[in-house]
Amino acid sequence: MLDVVNLRHTYGQGPSAHHALGGIDLKVAEGELVSVVGPSGCGKSTLLRSIAGLIEPTDGHIRIRDGHVTGTPGDLAVVFQDYSRSLFPWMTVGENVALPLRRRGMGRAARRAAAAEALAEVGLPGAEAKYPWELSGGMQQRVAIARALAYRPTLLLMDEPFGSVDAQTREDLEDLVLKVRELHRMTILLITHDIDESVYVGDRVVVLTKSPARVAGELSVDLPFPRDQIATRELPAFVHLRAEVGRLVRAKEPLPPFHASQQA
């Protein structure tokens, strides 16, 4: 579904050039939720911005469903970390969610209905007439998620989507992502610097090295669904995976592979 081959990106030129991406290979299958985690400043956002078509990478290929990415792909939505700057403060919540749907060729009534439905799905039923700045941070990020949902993308990119909300809200939003993903069978690439989060929401965790970023390792997350904030996090497999990801992020030697059958 998403195929990233040897992606490189360098900001600037000459001695002051910053090599953000040093050749990244990444595949995401249809319906998969892949977390990308890495040390802060490692180029995670550069990777996401390249896939979203917001920057043109220096080298490498990005294919989404066999189509090369040049410019912004039409079937893609992004949830940014900074919801307060990503939502438009001069529009109501309903208008914010409905705005991108014009491109889908939907009439006014259909757009409005789709916005209402998406807002209900993220737990904000009837919030259409409010303005984003009348809502709390967590609720604003829910609006941003609703905007992405209503757009019905084949690929959803999330750039540290829960980095600016408090811990309780973060957990609620993680579960919301898992719920809507289940509901819509969406393919999601979620970028985070939070190791616990990468394991908790992911089917697979891809760990990046410091910049210039490469893939340091990949871990498949074989945790049962539905995931639960308390029960999942206390599973030995979760604890082990978290340690494993942590080691990769800090570039330490990995442990021998863990098998759930060894414990329990």
Partner 1 sequence: MSAATTLPPAEVTKRRARGGRLSALVTRVWLIPVVVAAWEIGTRQAASAYFPPPSQIVARAYELWFSGPAAHLFLTDDALGDFLPSLARLFGGWAVACVLGIGLGVALGRSRALAGYIDPLVEFGRAIPPPALVPLFIVIFKLGTEMQVATIVYGVIWPILINSIDGARYVDRLHMDTAEVFGMGRAQRLFRIILPAAGPKIFAGLRLSVALAVILMVLSELVGSTDGIGYQLSYTQMNFDLAGMWSVIVLLGVLGLVLNASFLAVERRVLSWHRRARQTT
Nearer to partner 1, 74 or 236 (CB): 74
Q: Minimum Å distance from CB 31 to partner 1?
A: 21
- Which region among 6-14, 100-108, 195-203, 255-263 touches partner 1 (by CB under 8 A)? 100-108
Nearer to partner 1, 48 or 124 (CB): 48
* Residue 112 CB, nearest approach to partner 1 (Å): 16
Q: Establish if 200 lies at the interface with partner 1 (CB under 8 A).
A: no
Question: Is residue 133 within the footprint of partner 1 (CB under 8 A)?
Answer: yes
Asked if 70 interacts with partner 1 (CB under 8 A), we say no
CA angle 226–228–230, rounded 5-degree value? 160
Question: Does 166 contact partner 1 by CB under 8 A?
Answer: no
Q: Which is nearer to partner 1, 70 or 220 (CB)?
A: 70
Q: Which residues contact 186 (CB under 8 A, 6 or more apart)?
A: 31, 153, 154, 155, 156, 180
Residue 131 found at the interface with partner 1 (CB under 8 A): yes
- Site for partner 1 contains 88 (CB under 8 A): yes
CB 26 → partner 1: shortest distance, Å? 19
208 binds partner 1 (CB under 8 A): no
Contact between 120 and partner 1 by CB under 8 A: the answer reads no
Alpha carbons 82 and 116: distance in angstroms, whole number: 23
Q: Is 185 in the site for partner 1 (CB under 8 A)?
A: no
Is residue 136 close enough to count as binding partner 1 by CB under 8 A?
Answer: no
**Residue 89 near partner 1 by CB under 8 A:** yes
Can residue 59 be called a binding residue for partner 1 (CB under 8 A)? no
- Is 74 a residue that touches partner 1 (CB under 8 A)? yes
Q: What is the 3-state secondary structure (H, E, C) of the chain?
A: CEEEEEEEEEECCHHHCEEEEEEEEEEECCCCEEEEECCCCCCHHHHHHHHCCCCCCCEEEEEECCEECCCCCCCEEEECCCHHHHCCCCCCHHHHHHHHHHHHCCCHHHHHHHHHHHHHHCCCCCCCCCCHHHCCHHHHHHHHHHHHHHCCCCEEEEECCCCCCCHHHHHHHHHHHHHHHHHHCCEEEEEECCHHHHHHHCCEEEEECCCCECEEEEEECCCCCCCCCCCHHHCHHHHHHHHHHHHHHCCCCCCCCCCHHHCC
Q: How far is the CB of 65 from partner 1 (least distance, A)?
A: 16
Q: Give the interface with partner 1 as residue ranges (CB under 8 A).
A: 49, 52-54, 72, 74, 76-78, 80, 82, 84-86, 88-91, 99-100, 102-103, 131, 133-134, 147, 151
